[in-house]
Structure 1
Amino acid sequence: MKKLERSLSLITVIAISIGGMLGSGIFVLPGLAAAKTGSSVWLAYLIAALCILPAALSKSELATAMPSSGGTYVYIERAFGPILGTVAGIGLWLSLLLKSSFALVGFGAYLSILISIDPDLTRIVAVFFLGLILLLNIFGVKKVGKVQIVIVTLSLTCLTLILFFGLPKVNTVFLKPFLINGQTGLMSTVAFVYISYAGVTKVAAIAGEIKNPDKNLPRAMILSLFIMTTIYVSIAFILVGNIPLEALEKDIKPIYTIANILGGQYVGYAAAVIGVITLISMANSGVLAASRFPFAMARHKLLPSFMSKIHSKYLTPTSTIILTCVTMALVILFLDVEKIAKLASAFMVMMFILVNAAVVVLRETSAQWYNPPFRSPLYPFVQIFGIISGIILLVLLGWLPFLSIIAIFIIGVAIYFNFGNKTRRTGVLRKYGHRPALYLLYKRKNKEKKNLTVINSLNEGVLDGKLVSDAGAVVALLGNENSPEMLVEIGAAINRRLQIQAINITEVPNQTYLDAFMDDNPKIHSLARRISGLAKAKNLDIDFEAVVTHDISETIDELSNQTNCDWLVMGWNGKAHSGIFVRNPIGWLVTNINSDFALFKDNGVRHIGKVLIALRPGRKDKNFIAIADRISQFYGASLTLLHVVPAHFTKDDITKIEESSSIILNKSISKTDLIILKSDDSINAISKTSAGYDLLILGTPQKDNWINVLFGTGKDKFTEKSACSVLRLTMKDN
């Protein structure tokens, strides 16, 4: 399959992003917005830009992680699953067609300046031109990129001239009152004008065609947002400073009005021409984009199959284009201008809330395939601000948009269960999201067995596509290990049986077919060769396989069941399990896996000669020391047991610990030692002691406080501060 050529430069992408924003937001909306808040309308545009900034950063991150995915619908579906993906697809479709309908209403108003049209018939004229747009989209008449750039250039030139000539003529009398409905009116206006900036994220859908997207995509979004914020704020200030509020608040062609005031009738006509061209172009591109959402959803089996068909001659999705245009016609004819703008803003706010939430979900669940070159700064505070501010704006938009969003959720769920419930795709959140009562109150004991097919990338060498059924340890290799051989060695050291199963696991999104990864993979060849070399050098019985999966946690869990292993061994970055809301796959495995679980944090130590075991309070010493002794024997290393006791412990208390520990250590085959340190800072004490050792063995904490349970424990402090490699053991009978 050929890939799209990355040919779009930073300047071109900025122009495309500006083109997505430049239209009804400034040519139609300012007067209606001024009616809600007064001369402070320019401030509403500024605050709206700040509220949309998190979505721009979040969408930049998502687009660089999935540069050829096709936009917001897919991001939301991958994060939350097909049900919310269906809701998002409908919401995006409606927001775009509403924005395009709003543009066509404004187009009719500007056209009436140039051609004598009865004001009552402007909507009929708008529907007529919508019919022409319908034919253009069905026949597949492509937009010429240079024409779009010319339109953007003309619009920017017109607005710049208005700014240049209008600023000196601002009448301070018109700037009062600043707030006609108080702060609540200002914030509701922020929500109202939010749709003006929606186009800033459109370029994410063409991330696969941008040169150096991990840098140029976020730069283009931020720069275009800055440019358009400057234009919107400045022009809004010029409008309220030159036109009395009582005239401006009913005006849906304010750019013509200000141009007529500043330059006379012919300058006004010129501005009207630019308004007509800009708004018709925006409406056309809106139909083009909006009609693709139901088309993509139908191809994902979330809508009736006839919507996924393309015209045999024109190669366009005729049915979805017709559906979009018919819906737009109904909106234009039966909704007033303000309701159209409110609904468009509401649906876009909802989408951007989900975009911000998607970044949180994908980061916190640590999905293996999610590795964006660009990461949003100040995570998660930027995303939390975007989510909270979005919810506030939805409330301020009023009851009608809010009820419309609820209706979209109901319709989306109904459509999913009628058409999309047979899809096998699931979102990352469903794979790794908590069910609090189940996971906090008790652990699963009897698990339904599933069939698992090992999809290997090779048909030769040590790979045969069969799992060892009697492996004592299963070592899961996820591709992010410092040294896969060292992790397999640790598995061999823990193993109590003859055989070890090493499995390289590659997780891909649900939207990616597993068959796409069936080709030979040089990295798997290399890994198989190295594991085979380790087996010969250490005289170990290691079977190596490669697996491709959509769900890494469930796959690892099922692998441990099929092999009936004693231990599951994985690499680790030191992050402890998270809480109810989001978590990483390791947290799920620790809670649900049937076998004992070993997490190895590789700090670069390649020769293990001294092992330190530090037990957390409440552990059964003998079980952990037996495992530590086995590891020490494997490496021919000495074993030291460390107890860190509170500073107030008496000599008698310490003597009791020495006596009980000596009894256990005497059963060990390895050379052993005992250290007891008095310290109220156990983390620092263990950290300093670990500097003299090669491997630190820890158990998992038995209990977490309520803060950890709700919001997660973040980094394991003992592991993070350790100077040597760390092995954290979870044993089910402890």
Structure 2
Amino acid sequence: MKKLERSLSLTSVVAISIGGMLGSGIFVLPGIAAAKTGSSVWLAYLLAAICIFPAALSKSELATAMPSSGGTYVYIERAFGPLFGTIAGIGLWLSLLLKSAFALVGFGAYLAILVNIGTGLTQYVALIFLLLILFLNILGVKKVGKVQIVIVSISILSLALILLFGLPRTSAELLDPFLLNGNMGLFSTVAFVYISYAGVTKVAAIAGEIKNPSVNLPRAMILSLFIMTTIYVVVAFVLVGNLPLEDLKTDIKPIYTIANLLGGSVVGYIAAVVGVITLISMANSGVLAASRFPFAMARDKLLPDFMSRIHSKYLTPVVTIAMTCFFMALVILFLDVEKIAKLASAFMVMMFILVNACVVVLRETSAQWYAPPYRSPLYPFVQLFGIGSGIALLILLGLGPLVAIAAILAIGFLIYFYFGKNATRTGILRKYGHRPALYLFYKRKGKGQITYRNNQTEALQNLDGKLASDAGVVVPLLGNETSPEMLVEIAAAINKRDKIQTVNITEVPNQTFLDAMVEESPIIASLERRISQLAKSKNITIDFEAAVTHEISDTIHELSNQTHCDWLVMGWNGRAHSGILVSNPIGWLLTNINSDFALFKDVGVRHIGKVLLALRPGRKDKNFIAVADRICTFYNASLTLLHIVSENMCEQDENAMRNNSLNLLKKVPTNSSVLISRSNDSIGAISNVSAGYDLLILGTPQKDNWLSVLFGTGKDKYTEKSACSVLRLTMKDH
């Protein structure tokens, strides 16, 4: 199968993104929005852009991580699982459907200026052109899409001329009142116009065709959002500065009205023509995009199979195209313009809340395959702002849209529980989520299993049964270790038995067949050779295996069960812990495996001659000292037992602590000493002392702030500030 050619430049992507936004948001919506807030409507457009900015950054990150996956539906399903994928697919379908219907209503109003069809017949004219769009999409007419850039260029040029002549004529009198319904009126208008910017993220669906997507995709989204924000804000300002609010608030063709005022009837007719072609183009592309969501859901076994049928001749999803157009017709006939806009905004706000949440879930779970070349800045604060502002906007939209969203949630649940039994994927949150999140969303299945695309659930077949059942230490290698050899060495130093089991684990998305990944790669062959050389040079017994899995935590858990090991030893980047709602695989393992657990942060130290053991009161001192002693014996290193105490500790207590520590150290043969440091800054003290050592051994830190508790985003500050390599030990009560 050929890959899509990466042929789209930054300019092309910006044009496509602008095309996704330019339409009913400026040609239809401003007048209705102005009726809600007054001349501050331009500020509402600006604030809406700020609220949607986090979603643009989040979707840029998601798209560069999954550049060929196809869009928001896949991201949400991958993070939250098929249940939320079902709800998201329905929500996205409805938001695009409503936005396209809204464009057709506006199209009818602009066409009525050019053709004498009567005001009451505009709905039926919209339905006639909807029928035309239906046939264009079924026939797969590609040339219609190719004129998008031309249409966008004409529209922007027309709007620029309106700004050029309209700004100097702005009247201060017409700008009063600024806030027609106070601050709440302004904020509810922000929610109302939110849909105007929804198209900014559409280009994520074509990330597989963009040149250098990790750079050009986020740039295109940000640039197009900035350009369209400028256009929306300034055009809205010109409209309220030139047209009386009483006239504007019932006007669904404001661009024609302002053009007619500034340049006369001929210019007005030209603006009407531009409105007609812009809005019909937008409606057509909306049907094209919307019909793909139920089609994709049917292919994923979340909707009936007949919805995934493709026309034998035209190769288009005829069933979902017809279904989309049918529901658009119902919307045009039975909903007024304001309700359509409100519902479209509500569904899009809900989707963008989930998009921001996807980034939080995927980052915090540290899924091995999730490695976006572009990462959203100011994480997680940008995402939390996007989620919080989205929830606020949903509330401000009023009861009607909230009821509609509740109905969609209910329909999504029903569809999932009827068809979801056929779904072949699981979400990242289900794999690594902590209990509060799981009780909210999922009931976790049994451990140690892999679900294949053919819906067969089997044991971990990629673990071939040749694992060393008497291995004292298991070392999962995930490919992100600074030095696999050094990690295995540390495992050998901890080991109390004869054998060590190393397993190179590759985690792939659920969409990928495991059978396609089982062939041994040169990288794995090289790693096996290096581990074999280490075993010979250190005279230790090491068994090496390779595994491919969809669920890395379950695979490591199964490793621990099959080998009955004493320790799991893994590489580590310093993440302190897991949150209440989501966890990284390490966080899940900490609470689920039965063996002791060691995390090694390698800073590049290759010779360990001095070991520093930092103990906190209440830790299992004897157990920690025993492990430190084995490491020192392996490396022929010295051991220093460190205590950080308060500067106010009395000398008598300090001497008692020193004597107790010396008594503990007498039981080990290693050359050892005790160091007591007085400091009220334990992190800074350990950092300073660690500069004189090669390895720092610590216990598991405790959670420290609300953000870390909820999302697990904190770093182990002791590890982060340490000047040497760090080994963090978690010992279970056996």
What range is the shorter-chain TM-score in? over 0.9
User: Structure 1-normalised TM-score?
Assistant: 0.95
8 Å CA contact 1:473–1:491 kept in 2: the answer is: yes
The letter for the 2-side match of 1:524 is I
| Partner-residue secondary structure (3-state), 1:175 | coil
**1:705/1:358 CA distance change after superposition, 3 Å:** closer
- Which residue is 1:459 aligned to? none
**1:673/1:452 CA distance change after superposition, 3 Å:** farther
The letter for the 2-side match of 1:174 is L
Alignment partners' CA distance in 2, 1:52 and 1:713: 23
- Which residue is 2:407 aligned to? 407
- Which residue is 2:180 aligned to? 180
**1:449/1:433 CA distance change after superposition, 3 Å:** closer
- Which residue is 2:46 aligned to? 46
8 Å CA contact 2:72–2:355 kept in 1: the answer is: yes
- Which residue is 1:218 aligned to? 218
What count of residue pairs does the alignment treat as equivalent? 721
Superposition map of 1:321-340 within 5 A: 321-340=321-340
The letter for the 1-side match of 2:50 is L
| Partner-residue secondary structure (3-state), 2:606 | coil
**1:679/1:151 CA distance change after superposition, 3 Å:** closer
- Which residue is 1:96 aligned to? 96
**1:438/1:259 CA distance change after superposition, 3 Å:** closer
| Partner-residue secondary structure (3-state), 1:472 | strand
**1:49/1:527 CA distance change after superposition, 3 Å:** same
- Which residue is 1:435 aligned to? 435
Superposition map of 1:386-465 within 5 A: 386-436=386-436, 452-455=459-462
Alignment partners' CA distance in 2, 1:611 and 1:129: 77
**1:193/1:87 CA distance change after superposition, 3 Å:** same
Q: Structure 1 stretch 349-358 or stretch 238-247: which is displaced more? A: 238-247
The letter for the 1-side match of 2:322 is I
- Which residue is 1:195 aligned to? 195
Alignment partners' CA distance in 2, 1:268 and 1:347: 34
- Pairwise CA distance, 1:703: 8.2
**1:701/1:259 CA distance change after superposition, 3 Å:** closer
1:28 matches 2:28: yes
- Which residue is 2:453 aligned to? none
CA deviation vs aligned residue, 1:410-455 (integer Å, no higher than 9, x gap): 101110111113324221122222115999xxxx9xx877664353
Q: Structure 1 stretch 592-601 or stretch 582-591: which is displaced more? A: 582-591
Superposition map of 1:156-175 within 5 A: 156-175=156-175
1:564 matches 2:564: yes
8 Å CA contact 2:437–2:580 kept in 1: the answer is: no
8 Å CA contact 1:454–1:547 kept in 2: the answer is: no
Superposition map of 1:138-149 within 5 A: 138-144=138-144, 146-149=146-149
| Partner-residue secondary structure (3-state), 2:191 | helix
Alignment partners' CA distance in 1, 2:201 and 2:707: 36
- Which residue is 1:687 aligned to? 687
**1:195/1:650 CA distance change after superposition, 3 Å:** closer
- Which residue is 2:124 aligned to? 124
- Pairwise CA distance, 1:516: 2.9
Q: Structure 1 stretch 593-602 or stretch 621-630: which is displaced more? A: 621-630
8 Å CA contact 1:207–1:217 kept in 2: the answer is: yes
8 Å CA contact 1:454–1:546 kept in 2: the answer is: no
Alignment partners' CA distance in 1, 2:587 and 2:648: 35
- Which residue is 2:495 aligned to? 495
CA deviation vs aligned residue, 1:219-263 (integer Å, no higher than 9, x gap): 111111111111111111121222211111111111111111112
- The answer for unaligned runs of 5 or more in structure 1 is 457-463
- Which residue is 2:452 aligned to? none
- Which residue is 2:587 aligned to? 587
- Which residue is 1:647 aligned to? 647
8 Å CA contact 2:524–2:546 kept in 1: the answer is: yes
- Pairwise CA distance, 1:663: 3.2
Q: Structure 1 stretch 635-644 or stretch 307-316: which is displaced more? A: 635-644
| Partner-residue secondary structure (3-state), 1:173 | coil
Q: Structure 1 stretch 579-588 or stretch 659-668: which is displaced more? A: 659-668
8 Å CA contact 1:110–1:273 kept in 2: the answer is: yes
8 Å CA contact 2:364–2:711 kept in 1: the answer is: no
- Which residue is 1:635 aligned to? 635
**1:534/1:452 CA distance change after superposition, 3 Å:** farther
- Pairwise CA distance, 1:707: 7.9
Q: Structure 1 stretch 128-137 or stretch 655-664: which is displaced more? A: 655-664
| Partner-residue secondary structure (3-state), 1:491 | helix
1:544 matches 2:544: yes
- Which residue is 1:308 aligned to? 308
| Partner-residue secondary structure (3-state), 2:259 | helix
- Which residue is 1:662 aligned to? 662
Q: Structure 1 stretch 689-698 or stretch 5-14: which is displaced more? A: 689-698
8 Å CA contact 2:437–2:582 kept in 1: the answer is: no
8 Å CA contact 2:560–2:568 kept in 1: the answer is: yes
Alignment partners' CA distance in 2, 1:550 and 1:475: 19
| Partner-residue secondary structure (3-state), 1:172 | coil
- Pairwise CA distance, 1:20: 0.5
CA deviation vs aligned residue, 1:72-95 (integer Å, no higher than 9, x gap): 111111111111111011000000
- Pairwise CA distance, 1:646: 3.2
**1:704/1:48 CA distance change after superposition, 3 Å:** closer
Alignment partners' CA distance in 2, 1:68 and 1:103: 29
8 Å CA contact 1:472–1:497 kept in 2: the answer is: yes
Q: Structure 1 stretch 594-603 or stretch 673-682: which is displaced more? A: 673-682
Alignment partners' CA distance in 2, 1:139 and 1:92: 24
Alignment partners' CA distance in 1, 2:375 and 2:303: 33
8 Å CA contact 1:454–1:466 kept in 2: the answer is: no
The letter for the 1-side match of 2:462 is I
Alignment partners' CA distance in 2, 1:713 and 1:182: 38
- The answer for unaligned runs of 5 or more in structure 2 is 450-457
- Pairwise CA distance, 1:211: 0.7
- Pairwise CA distance, 1:695: 1.3
- Which residue is 1:318 aligned to? 318
Alignment partners' CA distance in 2, 1:405 and 1:727: 48
**1:707/1:192 CA distance change after superposition, 3 Å:** closer
Q: Structure 1 stretch 318-327 or stretch 168-177: which is displaced more? A: 168-177
- Pairwise CA distance, 1:169: 2.0
**1:705/1:148 CA distance change after superposition, 3 Å:** closer
**1:390/1:448 CA distance change after superposition, 3 Å:** closer
- Pairwise CA distance, 1:690: 2.0
Alignment partners' CA distance in 1, 2:187 and 2:707: 34
Alignment partners' CA distance in 2, 1:518 and 1:205: 29
Alignment partners' CA distance in 1, 2:231 and 2:448: 61
Superposition map of 1:331-350 within 5 A: 331-350=331-350
- Pairwise CA distance, 1:653: 3.0
The letter for the 2-side match of 1:419 is F
- Pairwise CA distance, 1:583: 2.6
Alignment partners' CA distance in 2, 1:81 and 1:248: 45
Alignment partners' CA distance in 1, 2:499 and 2:88: 48
Alignment partners' CA distance in 1, 2:270 and 2:705: 68
8 Å CA contact 2:437–2:581 kept in 1: the answer is: no
- Pairwise CA distance, 1:495: 1.0
8 Å CA contact 2:448–2:459 kept in 1: the answer is: no
Alignment partners' CA distance in 2, 1:703 and 1:142: 56
8 Å CA contact 1:74–1:85 kept in 2: the answer is: yes
The letter for the 2-side match of 1:78 is R
1:133 matches 2:140: no
Alignment partners' CA distance in 2, 1:86 and 1:347: 14
**1:171/1:622 CA distance change after superposition, 3 Å:** closer
**1:495/1:30 CA distance change after superposition, 3 Å:** same
- Pairwise CA distance, 1:198: 0.6
The letter for the 1-side match of 2:718 is F
Q: Structure 1 stretch 422-431 or stretch 58-67: which is displaced more? A: 422-431
The letter for the 2-side match of 1:622 is K
- Pairwise CA distance, 1:552: 1.5
Superposition map of 1:370-389 within 5 A: 370-389=370-389
CA deviation vs aligned residue, 1:515-555 (integer Å, no higher than 9, x gap): 23223322111111111111111121111111122222222
Alignment partners' CA distance in 2, 1:297 and 1:651: 70
Q: Structure 1 stretch 576-585 or stretch 526-535: which is displaced more? A: 576-585
8 Å CA contact 2:215–2:374 kept in 1: the answer is: yes
- Pairwise CA distance, 1:651: 4.1
- Percent identity between the two aligned chains: 76
**1:728/1:722 CA distance change after superposition, 3 Å:** same
Alignment partners' CA distance in 1, 2:523 and 2:500: 21
Alignment partners' CA distance in 2, 1:707 and 1:77: 25
Alignment partners' CA distance in 1, 2:405 and 2:713: 35
